Amino acid sequence: MRSVLYGRHLTLVALTVTTQAAAGLAVFKVLRLLAGHGAGGVADLVLLFMLAFSGAVVSVFHLGHPQKMATAFMNLRSSWLSREGLLLSLFLGVSFFQMVLGLSHGLFFSSCLALVGIGFLFTQGMVYVVPGFSAMRHGAPVVLFFFSSLTTGICLSAWFGDAAWRELLARIGSMVFASGFVGGLMLPLIWKSGTVVVSDTARAWGRSPLYYLWMGLGYGFPLLIVFSLKTLPVWLCLFVSVAECTGRILFFTQTRHTSDYIGHL
């Protein structure tokens, strides 16, 4: 069973968590502009760009031959990995020009960036919707990655706004954390009724302490905090980021591969 954490997985964990946080930040910047809580200067764009850029740099090292990474865009016709690379490059390009040209106040440019970010999240999720991962075949990674983006985006967005914005974030966050918590608890239960590989993935996730850490720290604890404080404290991003990293390690190490079960399916 492929439950060992490889160095390759760690780079993928870093890539997915950082870039999803950047996409989430872009989405919540649009919300902040729409809600009239100020543009927040270019500081959020700098953070967004740095997160996406560091993810892109780290992602290169999951390749066996990083020097050939330019060829990874050659199969846009059918490969979600090529599309992910293209949209990440586009996301980096748009955020860079927005940052350099000082376009952080514009709703149009922010919306463009958020849309590219959402498109990128979708392609990134689809990379893992493959026949080899039976449990993931029906789009679970897309949903998981969108939730990851929302939770990290909310928490990082709390850094760039006034108290009223953080209160609004707490209200949005309570819905996101609650639905993520319920969905995260339900996912293995749904998988339990699946085929051998799918139900074994559910068991592997349920047996792993990473799952409970991810659920508790990433959804349960933030939910308690926003309910009790009625605002979203800036320090919450630390807990949520750690939780998302553990959740991603769980995803990469405990999701069962169909080929491990040949003869027993």
Q: Does 191 bind other proteins (CB under 8 A)?
A: no
Q: How far does the chain reach from its first CA to its final CA, in angstroms?
A: 14
Binding piece for other proteins, criterion CB under 8 A, among 44-52, 130-138, 182-190, 224-232: 130-138
Interacting positions 7-36 with other proteins (CB under 8 A): 8
* Interacting residue with other proteins among 38, 106, 119, 132 (CB under 8 A): 132
Q: Closer CB to other proteins, residue 35 or residue 81?
A: 81
Q: Closer CB to other proteins, residue 15 or residue 25?
A: 15
Q: Give least dist CB 2 to other proteins, A.
A: 10
| Torsion region of 38: left, alpha or beta (phi above 0 gives left; psi -120 to 50 gives alpha) | left
* Interacting residue with other proteins among 78, 108, 193, 228 (CB under 8 A): 78
CA trace torsion 250, 213, 44, 53 (10° rounding): -20
Alpha carbon 30 to chain centroid distance? 18
Dig out the tokens for 80 from the structure. Answer: 């979600």
Q: Which of 108, 113, 76, 72 is nearest to 91 (CA)?
A: 113
Binding piece for other proteins, criterion CB under 8 A, among 101-109, 123-131, 143-151, 233-241: 123-131
> Count residues contacting other proteins (CB under 8 A)?
34
Q: Are 82 and 74 in contact (CB under 8 A)?
A: yes
Q: Closer CB to other proteins, residue 162 or residue 260?
A: 260
* Interacting residue with other proteins among 28, 49, 53, 80 (CB under 8 A): 80
Q: Give least dist CB 108 to other proteins, A.
A: 32
Alpha-carbon distances of 42 from 33, 110, 120, rounded to whole Å: 13, 11, 22
What's the number of CA atoms in the CB half-sphere (13 Å) around residue 6?
Answer: 9
Alpha-carbon distances of 194 from 137, 200, 205, 213, rounded to whole Å: 12, 9, 14, 24
* Interacting residue with other proteins among 81, 90, 190, 213 (CB under 8 A): 81
Interacting positions 48-77 with other proteins (CB under 8 A): 62-65, 68-69, 71-75
Q: Give least dist CB 92 to other proteins, A.
A: 18
Q: Match 């893992």 to its residue by tokens.
A: 128
Interacting positions 228-247 with other proteins (CB under 8 A): none
Q: Which of 235, 191, 184 is nearest to 210 (CA)?
A: 184
Q: Which residues bind other proteins (CB under 8 A)?
A: 8, 62-65, 68-69, 71-75, 78-82, 85, 127-128, 130-134, 257-265
